[in-house]
Structure 1
Amino acid sequence: MSDVVNLAAKFATFTEHWAPRIVARYNDNDIRIVKVEGEFVWHSHPETDDFFLVLEGVLDIELRDRTVTLNPGEIFVVPRGVEHRPVARHGEVKMIVIEPAGTPNTGDTATATQVEAL
């Protein structure tokens, strides 16, 4: 991976939704970009928190007891073990997700999307 990552250029390389791409690594964490639209599955990460930073669009993160709405430039951290479902109701959302390297995006390797590096 290069020293400088141009996020716009990286986002332009793919069109798939809910298919994270690794654009950098920080210590033992993957810095992933992802385009999302519609609903993801309810899931949790039993061993790690889940970090979301919205760059474009509006993302709802549904929790069992409330919904958190993120606008561009806002972050939210879902604590480990908390069941949640990201939802992009109003069109495509572009965001950064930071997770420990190898963390499956559904919390379960059997149902996770394969994550590739750009």
Structure 2
Amino acid sequence: MHVLSSLPSLHDTAASLTEYWSPRVVAEFEDSYVKVAKVQGSLAWHSHEQEDEVFFILKGHLRIELENGAVELPEGALYVVPKGVRHNPVAEQECHIMLIEKKSTLHTGSEVTEKTRSLADQLRPLEGGSL
């Protein structure tokens, strides 16, 4: 068995990011990506018609606005936005998140804004290496 002794943590990886709302792929399995992001403010109302989206809060607090209310996610919380559900993630203060998404998931669904990031951008190597 091969044991890696110095893997960077998800917390450290998220903290090292320099742009808000610019997720970075840190791992992949089967047809999914694991991403980390540093977020603050509001992203954009959007949906993913064919994919669920998993949010896990590494640090801080995230509110996911939904058309029929909102979900408040404190540090350590996990929430699945079902496919087809319009949502808008909002962080009043800086928040670090982990996302698990199908490889086909577009960052802001069919909505394109100045915050939308391409898959190529999300796959860029991380500063100082990756997980």
TM-score by length of 2: 0.80
Q: CA deviation at 1:109?
A: 7.8
Paired position in structure 2 for 1:101:
103
- Structure 2 counterpart of 1:103, one-letter code: T
Secondary structure at the counterpart of residue 60 of structure 1? strand
Distance 1:54 1:78 in 2: 14
Distance 1:109 1:29 in 2: 21
**Structure 1 runs not aligned, ≥5 long:** none
Distance 1:109 1:62 in 2: 16
- Structure 2 counterpart of 1:116, one-letter code: L
Distance 1:67 1:34 in 2: 20
Paired position in structure 1 for 2:73:
70
Aligned counterpart in structure 2 of residue 85 of structure 1, from 88, 95, 107 = 88
Superposed, 1:104-115 pairs within 5 Å as 104-108=106-110, 111=113, 112-114=116-118, 115=122
Secondary structure at the counterpart of residue 9 of structure 1? helix
Distance 2:111 2:73 in 1: 27
How many residues are paired up?
Answer: 115
RMSD of equivalent CA atoms: 1.7
Paired position in structure 2 for 1:116:
123
**Structure 2 runs not aligned, ≥5 long:** 127-131
Per-residue displacement from partner, 1:58-109 (whole Å, max 9, x unpaired)? 10000000110000110110110000000001x1000100001142110138
Which stretch of structure 1 is more off in the superposition, 71-80 or 7-16? Answer: 7-16
Q: CA deviation at 1:110?
A: 5.1
Distance 1:109 1:25 in 2: 25
Structure (1 or 2) with the greater strand fraction:
1
Secondary structure at the counterpart of residue 10 of structure 1? helix
Distance 1:77 1:13 in 2: 25
Paired position in structure 2 for 1:50:
53
Q: Looking at CA atoms only, which structure, 1 or 2, has the larger radius of gyration?
A: 2
